[in-house]
Chain A
Amino acid sequence: MTDTSVEETVKQIVIRIVRKPDLNFSPEATFKDFDADSLDIVQILVAVEDHYDIEIDDDELQDVQNMGGFLAYIENKIAEKG
Chain B
Amino acid sequence: MSFEGKVALVTGGSRGIGRVIALKLAEEGSDVIINYFRKKSTAQATCDEIRTKGVKAHAIKANVGEPEKIHSMFDEVVSEFGKLDILINNAASGVARPAMELDDKSWDWTIDINARAFLLCAQRAAKLMPDGGKMISISSLGSRMVMPVYTSVGVSKAALEALTRYLAIELAPQNICVNGVCASAVETEALQLYVNDPNLPRPAWQTTPAGRMVQPEDIANAVIFLCKDESAMIRGQIIVIDGGFSLSPSAFNPEGGSHGP
Residue ranges of A at the interface with B (Cβ–Cβ < 8 Å): 37, 39, 45-46, 49-50, 55-56
Residues of chain B from 128 to 162 with CB closer than 8 A to chain A in the complex: none
Contacts of A56 in B (CB 8 A): 38
Residues of chain B from 34 to 80 with CB closer than 8 A to chain A in the complex: 37-41, 61, 63
Which of B37, B41, B106 meets A46, CB within 8 Å?
B37
Sorted nearest first, the 5 A-B pairs with minimum C-beta distance are A55-B40, A39-B109, A46-B63, A39-B105, A46-B38
* Chain B residues touching A, majority SS: mixed
16 residue pairs A–B, Cβ–Cβ below 8 Å: A37-B105, A39-B95, A39-B105, A39-B106, A39-B109, A45-B38, A46-B37, A46-B38, A46-B63, A49-B38, A50-B61, A55-B38, A55-B39, A55-B40, A55-B41, A56-B38
* Chain A residues touching B, majority SS: helix
Q: How many positions in chain B have a CB within 8 Å of any CB in the partner chain? A: 11
A13 to chain B, nearest CB (A): 14
A72 to chain B, nearest CB (A): 20
Residue ranges of B at the interface with A (Cβ–Cβ < 8 Å): 37-41, 61, 63, 95, 105-106, 109
Bound complex: CA of A46 vs CA of B62, how far in Å? 9
Given contacts A39-B105, A45-B38, A55-B38, 13 further A-B contacts (CB under 8 A): A37-B105, A39-B95, A39-B106, A39-B109, A46-B37, A46-B38, A46-B63, A49-B38, A50-B61, A55-B39, A55-B40, A55-B41, A56-B38
Residue on B nearest A56 in the bound complex, by CB: B38
Contacts of B105 in A (CB 8 A): 37, 39
Contacts of B109 in A (CB 8 A): 39
Contacts of A45 in B (CB 8 A): 38
Contacts of B41 in A (CB 8 A): 55
Contacts of A49 in B (CB 8 A): 38
Which of A37, A55, A56 counts the most chain B CB atoms within 10 A? Answer: A55
A30 to chain B, nearest CB (A): 20
Residue on A nearest B40 in the bound complex, by CB: A55
Bound complex: CA of A50 vs CA of B106, how far in Å? 22
Residue on A nearest B105 in the bound complex, by CB: A39
Bound complex: CA of A56 vs CA of B37, how far in Å? 12
A17 to chain B, nearest CB (A): 10
